[in-house]
Structure 1
Amino acid sequence: MKELFAVIGDPIAHSMSPQMHNDLFQYYSIDAHYQPLLVKKENLEAAIKGLKAIGISGFNVTIPHKTEIMAFLDEIDPLASDIGAVNTVVNQNGKLVGYNTDGLGFMKGLASLTSDFVNQKILIIGAGGAARAIYYTLAKTGVKGMDICNRTVEKATHLIETCPYQITSEALSLEQAENKLSHYGVIIQTTNIGMSPNMSQLPLSINFLRESSIVSDIIYNPLETFLLSEAKKKKAIVQNGIDMFVHQGALAFQYWTGITPDISRMKQIVMEQLGGTKC
């Protein structure tokens, strides 16, 4: 009997996960199908009960359900519980178990650029859900120092204070971060600045960006944000959000099937959908 997998969210038509996962199922000769499912907020509980009732093997969770879904799962992985968000669910013998692969996916993508990120001074721009997943995951991994800058400093302070892992961090205003940008070997951009309609904006000035530092923007559409194009001019090493997207999807696939998938194949599928080659 064909196994069923899915991604739930609202909106969902834009998701690139179905093409990526269905290609993997075919490539590894797994009799399964991955389906995008539009689920409204008010229908989330009923949807989860329905997916469980039909014996779905696993599913991904995207906006706006990553936090609310936790109330309807049987078990939650400790890291996902600390982050306060789930993006991957596995059906383990009728029990729905939630995981968060966003931070781990980002970390694996970052590791493809540098194996020494644990000892680098890191700056995260933004203090939303993505920043939280990345910050907590890197902190748990043992990163020595990691600051957060945000338009609202209080939000960055709250993220730092609620982190359950030991790490040295400072909450900064955007201006403070701009002035000490040369201190950081890795800069991680997690806001939506750089996406339409803010494609010509920078999240902060990079006048003091040091040469050969890593600038990673989790946006992948456009493939090269204004931040990355400007960072390139300063001879920084740049990375868009495709690596994070592909690696978090690979971790989900591994949770579901026990197979470590071909990352390069997954990346090619995503690039074909986006129709570009930058970064």
Structure 2
Amino acid sequence: MPVTANKDTLLCMSMAARPGNFGVRFHNHLYEQLGLNFYYKAFAPTDLPAAVAGIRSLGIRGCGVSMPFKEACIALVDELDASATAIQSINTIVNTDGHLKAYNTDYIAVAQLLDRYKVPRTRFALRGSGGMAKAVVSAMRDAGFTDGLIIARNEQAGRALAQSCGLQWQAQLGDERPALLVNVTPLGMAGAQADELAFDETAIAAAETVFDVVATPADTPLIKTARRLGKRVISGDEVAAIQALEQFVLYTGVRPADEQYQQAAAFARG
């Protein structure tokens, strides 16, 4: 809690099936550095409608939304920003006097990283079909990635996502060897699936770029294998930092200086 916590302290939170500390450390570090009377806490809700109702009734200023709640929350808010409407997936809720407006800052983060790393517009395979996958593939499509596969065991969701972006769907990667591999599933995330590779080593060896959106841990089995094989790597903690910055701005109305942002991201990773 901030040292000066009082009745006017504004609370922000996040909801995830497996909460991590990145957002907690990132936001609270910036609140302290900038002298803002805010506090941030992560939760793993067991009753999503009740949790969102609590955001409204308790005056929670902002809420980050992570797997698996990015689509289920849509029906529980009052308004969607254009960033969320286009994707039909949300990762941020802002509460203004009881009015809940939802955004998607994941899209912004992915678009920035594709540009920063100058990823060639080559054939790709993206594994996943949930809310985060929608944000990632939409950002890729808008950045000019038009030749790709959606790899998903859920055929209905996989086909729907592929068709929405003019792509193909497959249940498994098979013999495909695309130059860009993107993981948007919990595989490699801390927990029961922490040791699982999202793509096999043969596919990783044939790729040029590997992008894993899993943020905790930053060095997933996929990222470790890709680095060992000398591939261009984009990690999930980079996505987490950029999208958290955009959330911070939405919650507080304050945009930190780049140095302050970099310090907060480094602190969050530590």
Corresponding position of 1:106: 110
Residue 159 of structure 1 deviates from its aligned partner by: 1.2
Corresponding position of 2:168: 170
1:34 matched to 2:35: no
Residue by residue, what CA displacement relative to the aligned partner does 1:64-90 show, whole Å, maximum 9, x if unpaired?
Answer: 443333223221113313433322112
Corresponding position of 2:12: 6
Instruction: For 1:241 and 1:68, locate their aligned partners in 2 and report how far apart those are by CA, in whole Å.
Output: 22
Matches within 5 A, 1:42-57: 44-57=48-61
TM-score of the pair, normalised by structure 2: 0.81
Counterparts in 2 of 1:35 and 1:180: CA distance versus 1, 3 Å: closer
Corresponding position of 1:191: 185
Residue by residue, what CA displacement relative to the aligned partner does 1:13-54 show, whole Å, maximum 9, x if unpaired?
Answer: 64432221111112122222223355431xx44443443344
- Helix, strand or coil at the partner of 1:255: helix
Instruction: For 2:52 and 2:187, locate their aligned partners in 1 and report how far apart those are by CA, in whole Å.
Output: 33
Instruction: For 2:224 and 2:45, locate their aligned partners in 1 and report how far apart those are by CA, in whole Å.
Output: 36
> Which runs of 5 or more residues in structure 1 are unaligned?
273-279
Counterparts in 2 of 1:145 and 1:270: CA distance versus 1, 3 Å: same
Counterparts in 2 of 1:125 and 1:50: CA distance versus 1, 3 Å: closer
Instruction: For 2:224 and 2:218, locate their aligned partners in 1 and report how far apart those are by CA, in whole Å.
Output: 10
1:180 matched to 2:176: yes
Matches within 5 A, 1:134-145: 134-145=136-147
- Helix, strand or coil at the partner of 1:187: strand
Residue by residue, what CA displacement relative to the aligned partner does 1:162-220 show, whole Å, maximum 9, x if unpaired?
Answer: x2xxx5422234243xx332x42x32112222234444432333425467821111223
1:219 matched to 2:214: yes
1:250 maps to which of 232, 245, 249: 245
- Helix, strand or coil at the partner of 2:255: coil
Residue by residue, what CA displacement relative to the aligned partner does 1:103-143 show, whole Å, maximum 9, x if unpaired?
Answer: 322332343322x55x3433212223321221123224443
Amino acid at match of 1:267: A
1:74 maps to which of 63, 73, 78: 78
Residue 243 of structure 1 deviates from its aligned partner by: 0.5
Residue 98 of structure 1 deviates from its aligned partner by: 0.5
Amino acid at match of 2:227: K
Root mean square deviation, CA, Å = 2.9
Contact 2:59 2:97 (C-alpha < 8 Å) held by counterparts: no
Instruction: For 1:190 and 1:64, locate their aligned partners in 2 and report how far apart those are by CA, in whole Å.
Output: 12
Instruction: For 2:41 and 2:265, locate their aligned partners in 1 and report how far apart those are by CA, in whole Å.
Output: 19
> Which runs of 5 or more residues in structure 2 are unaligned?
1-6
Instruction: For 1:169 and 1:63, locate their aligned partners in 2 and report how far apart those are by CA, in whole Å.
Output: 23
- Helix, strand or coil at the partner of 2:107: helix
Amino acid at match of 1:188: V
Counterparts in 2 of 1:199 and 1:18: CA distance versus 1, 3 Å: closer
Counterparts in 2 of 1:151 and 1:71: CA distance versus 1, 3 Å: closer
2:268 maps to which of 267, 270, 274: 270
Amino acid at match of 1:270: A
- Helix, strand or coil at the partner of 1:194: coil
Contact 2:67 2:132 (C-alpha < 8 Å) held by counterparts: no
Instruction: For 1:201 and 1:47, locate their aligned partners in 2 and report how far apart those are by CA, in whole Å.
Output: 31
